[in-house]
Chain A
Amino acid sequence: MPKVTINDRTVEVEAGTNVIDAGLKAGVLVPHYCYHPRLTVVGQCRMCLVEITDNGKKMPKLQTACSSYVTKDGWSVRTDTPEVAEAQKGMMEFFLINHPLDCPICDQAGECGLQDYSFKHGVAFSRFQYEDKRTYPGRERIPLGANVVLNMNRCIQCTRCIRFTEEVAGTGELGFFNRGARVEIGTFPGKELSNPLATCVVDICPVGALTSTRFRFAERVWYLDKKPSICTGCEVGCNITMEQRRGDIKRYKPRFNVEVNDYWMCDYGRSSFERYKKLPRLTSPRVRAEGGNGHAPVVSTGWSQALDAVHRGIAGAAGTGEIAFLGSGFLTTEEAFLFARLADLMGAKNRSVPVDLGPERTIPRYKRPPITGREAAPNRRGAELAGLAGGGDLLHGDGAARCAVLVVCDSDFGQAAYDPETVARLRRAKLLVVFGWSDSPLAQAADVALPVAHHGEKEGTFVNVEWRVQRFERAFPPTGQVRPALDVLSDLLSRFEAGWSQLSAATVFDRLASELPAFAGLSWHRLPATGAALHVPEAQPKLSDQGAETAREASQ
């Protein structure tokens, strides 16, 4: 592999790597706008000009780093010479002369390529003293599609969005219109930017020209707290950054993982946090009062009373009837493991993980076939591996009627939790215990309802459609009486068996890794940021039978 020296740092790169990527490897950021590793190199922003010396012979002009490929030894690149600095300064001036400089009202402010490079490479004053900056009257807030708004005045014509729709999304709705200084971005006549990946153009837009309708004016970005997480929209498990302020999730942004979602995620996934805001929240434990032959009202209580009630109910049911466990594809693998442990202790065979089948969500990937998810839950595989694959269909038929106790975790496992008929069917169990963040009709029907954390409030792992286990962090703590399900389950388990109290996701994961062959050799703290492939015998086992039957088309 050829060696290249960038600002005195020598790195070995694969032949054909361009100087920007080689620079990143050497720890030198060559400023650039139009270059994106997944898009064709067009060399048009001219921001990445560098000085290249080929075996002691300086190239006559400055070269664009994006279109200069290292193919042999002997290249020495400098990004810090006076000529390069001068060129960068000149380019920044060109970018800004016609830019509206409306940072105070621009959503991109704080994460804007123009701001960043202006600080680093630009000058603090303008030599452009004309009132008539080039503007595009009437094109300041053009909706390109349902999710993306264009402000042409802010555009720096890098064409990343055009190339994205052409080369990644494959839909090609966007084009360059007009010429010279009047050139503009737009949709072709009769088309709108409505492909499933449309909002990715907002992410790759280096400036505030393209903004997301979902995030427009929602928050100044410097107030956002960001945590690495996993999208729960489907089983693909796109890596995301969950960005929130004080427990209010503002947006999901894709986080690079070449094995899963590359740089992209779908618009549906981006909207998946909205249900945490839209649906009513279960806020405190509720237990049905004594007496009244099961028709007494449920009342709010404290956690210990609620867990006592569950303990009493489960322990008392031994011998009087079946105990069934209904899991969910939204449980973390660790939660599912504890849930399954509880079922093991009770000798319960009837356990299942029902998931909805939704529309297919496909993410294109680099040098790999696209990844597709059909199930509308992120972790059916993890839950089943952790021990929730059993048998029994509770959602149809009268299986629930035979149950002395039915434990459901969680109350938002799928559309069925909102379907009156299914809820009535499940309600026929003698004791219905429901964990959940959502106060769904199922939770309202429960004898014991336990408020647990949603995805943003807990940490854990998900196993995606390709059997890759991925870790996500807690973005913010749950408020009020809400506790993570892991916490509640370990509390409950310790009432039956010693050694389960005060468990963290890390200890549970390490324990399940030592017990389950699929997770052999993995450890929470050494799990790579990109996740790890599990040792699953069949690469692509089918959706478990009862899962397929109970699944229904998600309406979203």
Chain B
Amino acid sequence: MAAKFEPVLTRNVGKPEALTLKGYRQLGGYEGLAKALTMEPDAVIDEVKKSGLRGRGGAGFPAGMKWSFIPKGKDKPKYLVCNADESEPGTFKDRLLMENDPHQLIEGCAICCFAVSAATCYIYIRGEYTKSAVILERALKEAYDAGILGDNVLGSGFKLNMYVHRGAGAYICGEETGMLESLEGKRGQPRVKPPFPAVVGAFGAPTVINNVETLCNVPHIITRGADWFKSIGTDEKNTGPKLYAISGHVDRPGTYEHPIGITFREMLDAAGGMWHGRQLKAFIPGGASAPILKPDQIDLKMDFDTVAKAGSMLGSAAVIVMDETTCMVRSVARLSKFFNHESCGQCTPCREGTNWMELVLDRLEHGEGTERDSQLLLSICKNIGGQSLCALGDAAIGPVKSLVDRFPEEIEQHVRNRACPFPRPRYFENGA
């Protein structure tokens, strides 16, 4: 790992000129696209494959491989859908990219479209991200006017149309097939897989779906090469720069760019350490759906495989830090409430299970639980895990399972005291 890490994705953050096409070009923008257009589409895919870039949306699926699944041939149109429906609690990295460097995303999307021969790209943006949407729309218009998008991309003859599609504010529309349904104008709920979107996606046509951050990496891979990209990171499988959105009881919460695989301790230090010098009690390494880790994992390398090995997941790299005043039961109850609220309701385990978990956790938090509730929670988790239609069910059980497994003494305390032993923060007065 380089001693001094030069930011890649966020290099233009804090430079207002990057918002305009002219400024972005002066900063070296659209060189990647221009270079890609001189290459064979397959060569672009190979370059991305070689770089080892993995999806930054949560699942960590190799991006190049995803692109190569798109069938060749011209019998059907192909689509790229950029997943900008960033709604995982604790995640706010894509927003930074869209609000500060919109052209970087457009360039990444354009390269991807060129590589898979897609003539249409939708940027499905979270409904609440008004500012991002406005900025992106403005950038799109500029790109169209400059001939970067449209019928003749940079004079290459490649045709590409790009649209910003605003969601209506549902977490489930961040699930790729739920997003496609929503994009098609239907009720946003996941489809049964297979067929996967690479075969039957938007409007029945092959579709690539990538996260904002993933696509923002692409121009840099093309300009600076796969080998440069691979030089950043822990190993062959975890390469490149990564945005970490750190929040909770830290001194300076925010989005930080680090080489992937930085340890949690280093990351915490970069964010100014614990808030008011408090003790670390727990942290969530990858957004609300990741199992909670204890302080003994403080030297954990924050990359996909190492975090998975530690019994959690890197997910969207939204790190939530909790200090010793945090009630874990209340925290998890709140997360469960979120998943219950955001479950689409079509499949049984998720619809009924998330609701039930919330009820049990709520009861525990209010001191009305029993000793058997831990077992009950585990059993509900088992009945949801791996049996729901999409990943939301699995996401919902992550925090609950880790609560029972890693913080059993807190549940016991709640049951024994018949009350929550932690002070109730004022901002939770409307119910946790």
Contact = CB atoms under 8 A, between A and B. Distances in A.
A180 B340 contact: yes
B359 A130 contact: yes
Nearest to B382: A90
Interface in A147-200: 156-157, 159, 175-176, 178-183
Contacts of B351: 94, 157, 180-181, 183
B271 interface: no
B352 A179 contact: no
Contacts of A46: 347-349, 387-389
A277 interface: no
A508 interface: no
B349 A90 contact: yes
B346 A62 contact: no
A179 B343 contact: yes
A98 interface: yes
A180 B354 contact: yes
Interface stretch (A37-45, A215-223, A246-254, A313-321): A37-45
B343 A45 contact: no
Nearest to B346: A44
Nearest to A41: B192
B186 to A, nearest CB: 10
Interface residues on B, range: 20 to 34
Max count, chain A CB within 10 A of own CB: residue among B194, B349, B388: B349
B347 A180 contact: no
Contacts of B387: 46, 49, 61-62, 87, 90-91
A86 B379 CA distance: 11
A93 interface: yes
Majority DSSP secondary structure for residues of B touching A: helix
Interface string B350-367: 011111100100000000
Interface residues of A, number: 36
Given A87-B383, A90-B387, A91-B383, A47 B348 contact: yes
B386 A94 contact: no
Contacts of A64: 192
A44 B347 contact: yes
Contacts of B388: 46
A183 B347 CA distance: 11
Nearest to B189: A176
Given A90-B349, A95-B352, A61 B386 contact: yes
A181 B350 CA distance: 9
A94 B349 CA distance: 6
Nearest to A42: B192
A134 interface: yes
A67 B177 CA distance: 16
Contacts, number: 100
A295 interface: no
A176 B181 CA distance: 14
Interface in B285-341: 340-341
A41 B376 CA distance: 32
B389 A44 contact: yes
Contacts of A61: 386-387
A91 B349 contact: yes
Interface string A432-458: 000000000000000000000000000
A94 B345 contact: no
Nearest to B383: A90
B386 A180 contact: no
Contacts of A136: none
B341 A44 contact: no
Contacts of B344: 179-180, 183
Contacts of A127: 376, 379
B170 interface: yes
B410 interface: no
B341 A94 contact: no
A176 B349 contact: no
A112 interface: no
B342 interface: yes
Interface in A97-119: 97-98
Interface string B164-187: 000000101000000000000001
B382 A43 contact: no
Contacts of B343: 179-181
Contacts of B340: 180-181
B192 A94 contact: no
A362 B347 CA distance: 33
Contacts of A41: 192
Contacts of B379: 90, 127
B348 A62 contact: no
B346 A181 contact: no
A47 B341 CA distance: 23
Given A43-B192, A180-B340, A180-B341, A157 B346 contact: yes
Contacts of A130: 359
Interface in A128-156: 128, 130, 134, 156
Given A44-B389, A176-B187, A94 B342 contact: no
Contacts of B342: 179-180
A204 to B, nearest CB: 17
Nearest to B353: A94
A47 B353 CA distance: 14
A180 B170 CA distance: 11
Contacts of B172: 179
Given A46-B348, A67-B192, A91-B349, A181 B383 contact: no
B47 to A, nearest CB: 32
A176 B345 contact: yes
Interface string B370-406: 0000001001001100111100000000000000000
A391 B341 CA distance: 72
Given A64-B192, A134-B355, A180-B355, A43 B389 contact: yes
Interface string A73-85: 0000000000000
Nearest to A176: B187
A44 B344 CA distance: 11
A86 B383 CA distance: 8
Nearest to A98: B352
A159 B352 contact: no
B348 A181 contact: no
Interface in B257-274: none
A180 B350 CA distance: 8
Interface in A32-73: 41-47, 49, 61-62, 64, 67
A157 B345 CA distance: 8
A157 B349 CA distance: 12
Contacts of B382: 86, 90
Contacts of A183: 344-346, 351
Contacts of B345: 157, 176, 178-183
A156 B344 CA distance: 14
Given A42-B192, A90-B382, A90-B387, A128 B356 contact: yes
B389 A93 contact: no
Contacts of B352: 94-95, 97-98, 181
Contacts of B348: 44-47, 91, 94-95, 156-157
11 contacts: A42-B192, A44-B347, A62-B387, A90-B383, A95-B352, A130-B359, A157-B348, A175-B187, A179-B343, A179-B345, A183-B345
The 4 closest A-B pairs by CB, nearest first: A183-B345, A90-B383, A181-B355, A43-B192
Given A159-B346, A180-B345, 4 more contacts: A46-B389, A127-B376, A180-B341, A180-B354
